[in-house]
Structure formats: structure tokens, C-alpha cells
A and B are shown apart, each in its own frame.
Chain A
Amino acid sequence: MLDLGELWSPIRLTLELAAITTVMLLIIGTPIAWWLARSKARWKEAVATVVAMPLVLPPTVLGFYLLVTLGPNGPGGWLAGLAGGRSLAFTFEGLVIGSVIYSMPFVVQPIRNAFEAFGERPLEVAATLRATPWDTFWSVAVPLARPGFMTGAVLGFAHTVGEFGVILMIGGNIPGETKVLSVAIYDYVETLQWTEAHILAGGMLVFSFSVILTMMVLEKRMGRPGL
């Protein structure tokens, strides 16, 4: 018998995780991208490299370090202690932290590219019109970089939805809390529940296709590649 509630729970959880992660990444990632695009510091490429590292690191490396950091003997345990817990591993908050790190390059890179694409000129013009840097940022840079923000948000969201290895290591497979879509599919496959696995996996196929297609169409229409 198909249990729809059981199927829906990981979908809802995954969407929540991806949405929160994307918002957090836009907040954290935008200043980083701005700095990377504008700074003349010689070590900025080192920072850019750190941001990009989750692209090439195996999820197990991230998962391992996260498990150590989130645990009771790491900073995560201290943070959890403030809220009365003892470890951030096996919590939704822990997954958000993991996802923010894991998906960061997918958000920062397109935004940085977009910031770099329009060059110094519009900012100089704004400055001659006596706009404050703060004002310039919000009314010139951000609107000009809109395609980059769109691409970053879409990619960050989609990549978080597709996260698996890290969550398998730090999640603890708790229904409604850490059992996300990819882990649920894994579980169904391992227990030979092909029907459920097919439904969720097929849904992911359609989802990924739509995301990438939407992004390509958007980029074409805006005429400015974000990546």
C-alpha cells in the first residue's frame, strides 16, 4: 500500500531545507560575491578557492568535518547548548549549516560573475551623481546583477534539493527532521520498495529538467549569462 503521508514528508522537508538554505546563501553569499568581484586584495583568489572547494570535495569529506564540528565537542555542540541541546548533528539546523557550505559555490559564483560583468563604469557614474556606496549598491549594482542572483538562487536551491552524501552522514535519518528526499529514495531502494522509489526518483527527474530548462530560458531572455 502506498502511504502518501510517508512520501510527502520528505518532499516537504527537502523544500523547506532548500528554501531556507537559499535565503541564507543570498544573505551570506552576496557580500562575499561583492567583495570577490571588487576587491583588489591579492589573497582574494584564495578566498574564492575556499568558497569553490565543495565543488570538488567528496561529500564524505564535508560530512566528516561537519560531524566533528557539529558534535558535542565542537562549536556546534556549544551552539546547540545555547538552545538546550547538545549536538547539532541529527538536527534540521545542522542540515541547514551543512547545506549552506555545500551549496555556497553555486550561489556565490554566478553573483560574482554578474557583479564583474558590468564593470566599474556604472558605479563611477553613480558616484559622480553623489550616490552613497550603499545607495549605489542597492540601486545600481543589484538591479544590474539580477540575472546572476536568479541563477544563483535557482542553482543553490536545486543543488540543495539534490544533496545526499553529506546528509547521510550527519542526518541520522529522522522522519520529518532530517530524512530528506534523496535519503528517502535511498531507503526505499535499499528495502526494495521500488514503487515509492520510482515515484520520488521520477519526480526528481522532472524537477531537475524543469529547473535547468527554466534557467536556460531565463538566461536567454535576459541576454546575460550568469555563469
Chain B
Amino acid sequence: MADAYVVEPDVGFINEIKGLGGGDLKKCFQCATCSVACPIAPDNKPFPRKEMIAASWGLKDKLVGNGDIWLCHNCGDCSTLCPRGAKPGDVLSAIRAYAVIEYGPVKAIGKLINNPKMLPVVLGIPAVLFIVIGLITGLLDFTPEGDKIAHGHFFSTWLVDIMMIPAAIWTVANFAIGIKRFLGDMHRNALQDGKTDIQKIDPKGFIMGLVRVILPILKHDKFNECSENKDRATAHMMVLFGFIGLFIVTNIFFVALYGLQLHGPYSQLNPVKWLGNVAGISLIIGSLLMIKNRLAKKEDQVSSYKDWWLIIWALSLGVTGLLAEMTRLAGVAGLSYFIYFVHLMFVWSLFFFIAYSKLAHLVYRTMALGYNEYIGRQ
């Protein structure tokens, strides 16, 4: 532990956390009920009591690089027992949103997607890019022909991938930079707060830690320790597995297209297609369940723009994907092409904005869980 700590309150930070859904943080009077109520907080330096006072004092450096904010799964047990209605769960969620923006190399993008007023811009970017690039390259064919509807006739797969691949690379690069900075900060914070005495991260050990947390993450073990909102686990699992399924399908078809030169649409009998359909349905049902859960918990849990953005976006992704397929099978060409266009916009948004959206928790939380496993803090 450092001998002296210079407190640098950042009032702007406090206000930003309030804006991101932590509006009640100042109600906290540090009784520490939350740290005990939390079923997954460790005994050594438990959260979220210490995060609540740091947030209240505007101690940004104690929070943004603090791995504990990611150990929290926002189950709400702390907020339920909180005697002041300070909603620690929502405060941590807001701090996470802030941290995601902080670790993205281009903060303006983070600000953009967290600003409800900029939603038309966010939605417009892929549409404009698509049409402009399509027109320039001539890959956009407004008179698709052929007996069979094939989305590839309208939007050349080349056009799609000219858009998608750079977006994917962009996101990987963003995450790479974000993770590197986050890991450094998280380790510094852990040393400072006495969470670990390992001076230097051993990459092999850390990776082993990551490997060990993968299965518990997939099984939603931490979610299931929660008592207040246990039902969230099912919805989250459906969405996560939906994404994983679609990710696998996308990769297989990518290889099929460029490696095996097989063009879609593929037969409905193809098992990969089955996986795609099941994953899509899982995504839709899961996100609908999330919406239902959030609407039912209006009083206990703050649902801010960042939360709705992700859920509705996931739902839209699934719905447009399935609708594009269904209208295609039904033979409604114009509608199908339009829906497919919208679907592509959502896919591109996924690739492009993920590192700045709430979905970034997939990466940062995994890192934090892996790190925590590595330092053996229980």
C-alpha cells in the first residue's frame, strides 16, 4: 500500500456516473451492507462499499482501473438491502460504462453511443457508408435478377465484407489497446489496495487464470449465486449462447464462401443453418426476456440508455436476421432485401461499436475474472 494518497476529487466524473445510471450514489452513508449482501464479493477488500465512497468523492483513478467493478454481475442483491436506496448495483454498472469509454482509444465514439440524442447518427453511419461505398464500387445492384431471391444478388458479398472486415479488425485493435491498458491499471490498483502481493503479472499464469474462468462463465456460475434476480441468468445465457452460435455460423460461412467458394443461400437442411436459426431464436427470446425483466424491476434497478441500447440492438439483430430469412423463403423480394439491409446495418454496428458499448463487458469482465482467478482472491 502506498504511504500517502493524494485525493483528487473529480466533480465532473461524479456527474458523469450519475448520468450513466448511478444517480443515487450520493445517498450512500457507508454502512457496508452492500459488501456483505453481495454473494460474490471476496472477503479481502470486498466490493461495492469501497467503490461507493470512491464514486462519491469523485476518485476516478480508484474506479476506472479497478477490476472489482467487473467482478460485479449486477444481480441487485446489494441494492435490495441498501438502507439508503443508493443502488450500488446501478452505480457499479454506470462506472463500468464509464470505464468502457475510458479504455476505448477514441473516446468520442464512446460518448456518441452513450448519447441518446446521437442515436440517428449512430444508426445512420453504417447506412450512409454502405450506400456510398456501394455506389462508388458499383457493388450495389438495384436490379437483382434471378428466380431465386438471394441476398447476395442485391448486396454483393464483396461489398458486405469490404464493410465488415475492416470493422471487425477495428474492433479487435480497439480491444487490444483497451485490454492492455486495463490490465496494467487493474494490476496497479490491486497492488495499491492490497488485493494481491504478486508484483508482476506472469502472462502464462494469467492466461491459465483466463482458461479456468471460461467454463464458469459459460455456466453462469456467478449469476446463479445471486438471490435477488436469479431469473436473469436464463435470459443472459440465451443471449450469450445466441451470440456464440451466430459467431460460429458466421465464421463457417465465411470459410465456406471464400475457402470453398460456396455461395448462399444455403439449404435449410444444412446443420450449420440449423445452428444459425436456433441461435437467432435464442437471441430473440433471451433479449425479450431481458426487456421483460427490466420492465418488471423498474423500481429496484435503473435501466438507462446504455442498457436499453444493447438489449434492443441485440433484439433487432435477431429479429431482422430471422425476418430476412423468412421473407426470402416466402418470396417477398423487396421486403426481404430491405430487411436484409437493415440487418446488415446492425451487424456492422456490432463489429464497429462493440468496444465502446455495454457489450464490451464480454471482454473486460472476462479479463477481470481471469485476473482475479490468477491472483487467487476469493
Asked whether A and B interact, the reply is no
Binding site for B on A (CB under 8 A): none
